[in-house]
Amino acid sequence: MQVFSPPPARKDASKPASKARYERNRAAEPQCLKEWRARMDSEEGQAVYKRRSNTEHVHARLKNRGFDHMVLRGLAKVRTACLLHAVTHNLMWAISRRAPKPT
């Protein structure tokens, strides 16, 4: 499994002591974190993270509507529930974007 998520941003206005501590901590990181950072710095990682923004709002709304965990069993049932949520989300989005009829 590969994880693509943004690394925390570096602050340019940090104190020299803070920068030194950051570099020491970075050197002591496990190999898996170093690989993750290299993956996120690659063009492929940036492209994956850019595509991820298409689904973040949908997943947040899914969780806010009480679907933080599935109570269904089986891939087919879970897939059906997710597809129904996607259709509902798309319909709600389309209805909210409709232009009001002139009166």
Residue 4's pLDDT band (boundaries 50, 70, 90)?
Answer: low
pLDDT score of 56: 79
Quote the domain boundaries for residue 98.
Answer: 70-103
Please tell me whether residues 51 and 93 are part of one structural domain.
Answer: no
At 44-100, the pLDDT tens digits run 888 888 888 777 777 888 888 887 788 889 999 989 988 888 888 889 888 888 877
| Residue 95 falls inside a structural domain | yes
- Specify the amino acid at residue 100: P
Please tell me whether residues 45 and 85 are part of one structural domain.
Answer: no
| Residue 97 falls inside a structural domain | yes
| Residue 61 falls inside a structural domain | no
Tell me the DSSP string of 35-68.
HHHHHHHSHHHHHHHHHHHHHHHHHHHHHHTT-S
Please tell me whether residues 43 and 90 are part of one structural domain.
Answer: no
Residue 18's pLDDT band (boundaries 50, 70, 90)?
Answer: confident
| Residue 65 falls inside a structural domain | no
Report the run of H or E that residue 19 belongs to, with start and end: helix 16-27
